[in-house]
A and B are shown apart, each in its own frame.
Chain A
Amino acid sequence: MLAAIGAKSIDELFREIPDSLRIKPGALNLPPALDEGRLMDHLVELSRRNVNLTQVTSYLGAGIYDRFIPATVGAVISRGEFLTAYTPYQPELSQGYLQTIYEFQSMIAELFGCDLANASMYDGATAMAEAAIMAHSVNGRGRIAVSGAVHPHYRRVLETYCWSMSLQVDTLPPANGLTGNLTGIGPDTACLIVGYPNFFGAIEDLSEAREAATAAGALLVVVADPVACALLKPPGHFGADVVVGEGQPLGVSMGLGGPVVGLFACKTEHVRRIPGRIVGRTKEAHGERPGYVMTLRTREQDIRREKATSNICTNEALMALANTVYLAAMGKNGLRAVAETTVRNTQYAMRALGAAGASLKFSAKVFGEFVVALPNGRDAAEVRDRLLEKGILAGLPLGPYYPELRTCLLVAVTERRTKAQIDEYAAALGEVLA
């Protein structure tokens, strides 16, 4: 090959790099290479230094959920044709992926009760921040009102994005586990953001949120749990302008929170301002056969550069494919069964933990998750650690996020839990509290 190029050595090909900037062979301080067998052993060993959720019974949720994943999901997303493809810029070679994205968009729009959905975003938190920025681009207003009952990490991400764009974030303090006083929304508010259910598992009154946003001329952005939307009236039916959410519960591994997938659905009137990719159905230019392409491309960075609606140039296609396979495998009845089992387990756990000495902190209706207060001023982190010794991951201590909730645990109960496990949790909690 060097002879064909007319070079004497590979080094000669690097001659435009000044010598002073070249690394001498072996000069880098890196670990030695491992052969494939030893490499696997090394990774297994590192992985064993964690406690993973197959080793404990988990009641930890807070945006990432331990839900059942059908075997078909892994089988499909590990196919090399999907796993190792690039963005479908060449539609003739990418009809398979493009069709699955069209199916994904259809399912997410249906689940959220919206006109349409995009091809996905990085994750729920950045999808929410992008929705806020889209609202700003729609009405030109400079303040974002976010419920304090939205996931605290999502709000941190929102604050970072808004700081860099000189937008102001107004956090509405929660009251009894719900978005409190909505009077803080005013003529400068670009959008109101609420959770559904919110961070505490509580089901917000979206009619009230819609009215408050409309009165102020602001958009309504809802951060929704897609599994809850199998049973709850979907946010789009309340007139939400944008519905975003975390798609991880739909067939994606928890994986320490990444990669996961952001869901983004909205009203048709906003379609030209949405961030990210969108796939459309069309037909051949010189034939009649239908096919799929990425569309409304003039919103995107590679064409519009600094005038693009967002700098995003990936979606989470592989995770969106996992969502698509999951939703197809579950179907209407399966997803409702997952959601209903979640509700039954949650209601049972609320009673069981109450009987063990904890009390429900809030009175709102919940889906899948709830807040308990521990008696006698017990620190929730300390109780969580004691229960972990018994093989139970009891939930999330809320003190670091809400100092006034130092004695509270956020408890999630998915369809994966059983009555016996919940009884065991209640018994162990009773012992720790005694």
Chain B
Amino acid sequence: MHSFTVRIGPVGFRVGSAWPRPVAALEAIYAGYPGPRDGIADFTVRLEPERPWRRFVRPSVAIRGDFILPDAVPMALRHGFLAAEMGMNLQMALGQRRFLLLHASAVERDGRVLLMTGESGAGKSTLAALLGERGWRLMGDEFALVDPVSGLIHAFPRAVSLKNAAIAMLRAEASEDRFGPELDGTPKGTLRHLRPRADAVARMDEPAAPALLLFPRYGHDRAIRPMGEAEIFVRLTQASTNYVALGEAGHAALARLVKTVPTRAIDYPDSAAALAIVDMLWAEQAR
């Protein structure tokens, strides 16, 4: 078993792989990240041949670990690094119990956090990555961790997963050595991963208070819409993978977020328009 360990924000991971390649890719993209606290991983991911002989013959990577989806489809070995990333996300989605998990990106400025959530394709990841290159601290492009006790957002700055057109957009902003290999023909099209800036990694243990929540939607005319508390609450329960599992603590954390953080739904035709809306709302609304 080839082994890799890393700490991303408050969460330690151990990834074991039957092949060396996925581990080499992880080591490259997570260069500069610390190891798990006290050398103890919160979660274990295993990349194994789907059947013993598939280690060598048409290698096929099954994603296993502490928490698994029984009907997950195995992946080609050239996508092994992606399998590791999916495996780590899966452990968070199914196993995380310390924080309320929101499927949202998070960026910070002046000690306050902008959260963006929405369905896949809404652009939360791309917008967070762009903001992360333009003066904001990237706290995460996939999961925002809400501390049920303090209400603060904890950073989870894993490698940003860029899809299709977003790859070229970020290559214009970030140096080549921060990018992972190009993965084509994945279920989501072409993917490349981007390591967050060194300061975002160095400051990943600094939580911060949420100040503005946006529900972006890409591919529509520019529009800004206020949302009622009930709608926000329901959409955030849908955006959380562990709201039910946390019980009362999860409910209280989510209710506090909805009651205290200004929220808008925004539609945008292109990222320049989205960034302009963010600037405007941040100046007006963030408190």
A binds B: no
Using CB atoms and an 8 Å cutoff, list the residues of chain A in contact with chain B: none
